[in-house]
A and B are shown apart, each in its own frame.
Chain A
Amino acid sequence: MMNFPILSLIIFLPLLGSFFVFFSRSKNDIGAIYISILTTFVNLLLCIFLWWSFENNFQGFQFVEEKNWISGYIKFKLGIDGISILFIVLTALIAPICVISCINSVKVRLKEFLIAILVLETFMIGVFCSLDLVIFYLFFEAGLIPMFLIIGIWGGPRRVYSAYKFFLFTLLGSVLMLVAIISIYTLTGTTDLLQIYEIKIPKEYQNILWLAFFSSFAVKMPMWPVHTWLPDAHVEAPTAGSVILAAILLKMAGYGFLRFSVGMFPFGSEFFTPLVYSLSVIAIIYTSLVALMQNDMKKLIAYSSVAHMGYVTLGIFTFTKQGIEGSMFQMISHGIISAALFLCVGVLYDRMHSREIKSYGGVVNYLPKFSLIFIIFTLASLGLPGTSGFIGEFLVLVGAFTKNYLVALLATIGVVLGAAYMLWLAKKVIFGQITNDKVKKLSDVNKSELVLLSILAIITITLGFYPNLILDTVDISVNNLIYNYENEIAQKISNLE
Chain B
Amino acid sequence: MECQECHERKATLHFKHIINGQETKVSLCEVCAKKKGYLTYPEEGFSLNDLLSGLFQKDGIPLNAAGTANSNQPKQPQELKCSSCGRTFSEFKKAGKFGCANCYASFDSKVEPILRRVHAGNTKHTGRIPKRAGKYIQQKQLISSHKEELKQLIEDEEFEKAAVLRDKIRELEKANHQDKEAGDNT
User: Do A and B assemble together?
Assistant: no
Instruction: List the interface of chain B (C-beta within 8 A of A).
Output: none
